[in-house]
Structure 1
Amino acid sequence: MTEVDFYDILRQGLWVSVAMSAPLLGIALIAGLAVGLFQALTSVQEMTLTFVPKILAMLVVFWVSMSAMTALLVDFFHRQVLPVVAGG
């Protein structure tokens, strides 16, 4: 295994991690903006109001996208990592 192969697998692994985290980070951003807008419009400054909706939204998105994330990770390991391990 050369340095080029190592860095190629590392680069692809980083892209897989970005693809897996994008739905969770996106929903956290959207929920945070919605809660922040609600707090600004109603002048309600409750700390748990910012935390609980984001966590609930992230849990729902994680539960819905868990199979896609797992399939993406398994595909990456089958295509990239296991041939390198099996090849030497």
Structure 2
Amino acid sequence: MLDEAGFIDILRQGLWVAVVISIPILSAALAAGVVVGLFQALTSIQEMTLTFVPKLIAIVVVFWASMSFMTNTLVSFFQDQLIPIIIGS
């Protein structure tokens, strides 16, 4: 059986994996938002789709580029941490 400290440790590691795999996408959204915000401030264009579409494109591109990293990180977490607990070894 998994004791309370082991459960909290697995939960902490799972949250850390979630943070690590979300950093590329969140960074791309932040960078695209800053660039579009500066562009809007310089040109006085206040169009809502101008903020949404570049962020969406940046997120999709970074997601596509980092998909193998995210998959490998999640698979290794499951194989190293969760599956041994499930099968009881």
Q: TM-score category by the smaller chain?
A: over 0.9
Match of 1:27 in 2: 28
TM norm structure 2: 0.97
Match of 2:73 in 1: 72
Q: Does 1:58 align with 2:59?
A: yes
TM norm structure 1: 0.98
Distance 1:23 1:16 in 2: 13
How large is the RMSD of aligned CA atoms in angstroms? Answer: 0.8
Match of 2:44 in 1: 43
For these two proteins, the number of residue pairs brought into alignment is: 88
SS in 2 for 1:45: coil
Distance 1:45 1:83 in 2: 53
Distance 1:47 1:84 in 2: 48
Q: Does 1:10 align with 2:11?
A: yes
TM superposition outliers: structure 1 runs of 4+ over 2 Å: none
Distance 1:26 1:57 in 2: 10
Give the gaps of 5 or more residues in structure 1: none
Distance 2:84 2:5 in 1: 15
Give the gaps of 5 or more residues in structure 2: none
